[in-house]
């Protein structure tokens, strides 16, 4: 099963604007998923957001905007657990997640350095960039 990081892949990284309350409110109020996943595709969401009521409610709100709902949502990072450690632990705990699309290259590198097979964690930005160039080259747009 494919899993997607929420912040930075499925939606914009709004947490980067937390200090600017007005901007964060503006962005959060107008969030729409970057893409809609076809109904035939089963997928999960794996977020390193800390497990609390506010984060859980925000994730539920995001999921309500999706036509194809995820099979599973992993949002259970404890306060004292690091984000990268959490995602590494979850990937080890759930081998049914065959690949995770992750937004942070540092997290991808951490996970690989800590025992996750490179084919199981893919940096989203690199993936999109490679796909874009592949389409441009194959269709001779360049």
**Average pLDDT along the chain, 142 residues, taken 10 residues at a time:** 79 57 54 65 88 80 80 89 95 95 95 97 91 88 77
**pLDDT of 17:** 52
**Is the full-model pTM beyond 0.75?**
yes
> Tokens standing for 48?
């390193």
Report the CATH architecture of 2-138.
3-Layer(aba) Sandwich (3.40)
Query: How many alpha carbons lie under 13 Å from residue 54 in its C-beta half-sphere?
Result: 2
**pLDDT of 62:** 78
Q: How far apart are CA 18 and CA 74, in angstroms?
A: 23
**pLDDT of 122:** 95
Determine how β-strand 72-74 pairs with β-strand 43-46.
parallel
Residue ranges of the domains in the chain?
Answer: 2-138
**pLDDT of 69:** 86
Helical pair 105-113 and 83-93, crossing angle rounded to 10 deg: 50
Determine how β-strand 121-123 pairs with β-strand 99-102.
parallel
**pLDDT of 31:** 47
**pLDDT of 14:** 54
**pLDDT of 25:** 56
Q: How far apart are CA 97 and CA 2, in angstroms?
A: 6
């Amino acid at each position: 099963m494919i899993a997607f990081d929420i912040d930075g892949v499925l939606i914009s990284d709004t947490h980067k604007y937390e200090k600017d309350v007005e901007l964060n409110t503006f962005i959060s109020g107008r969030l729409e998923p970057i893409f809609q996943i076809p109904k035939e595709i089963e997928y999960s969401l794996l977020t390193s957001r800390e497990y609390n009521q506010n984060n859980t409610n925000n994730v539920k709100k995001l999921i309500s905007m999706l036509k194809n709902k995820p099979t599973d949502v992993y949002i259970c990072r404890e306060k004292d657990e690091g984000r990268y450690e959490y995602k590494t632990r979850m990937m080890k705990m759930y081998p049914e997640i065959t690949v995770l699309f992750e937004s942070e290259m540092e997290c991808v590198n951490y996970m690989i350095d800590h025992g996750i097979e490179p084919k199981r964690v893919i940096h989203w930005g690199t993936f999109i960039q490679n796909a874009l160039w592949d389409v441009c080259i194959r269709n001779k747009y360049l």
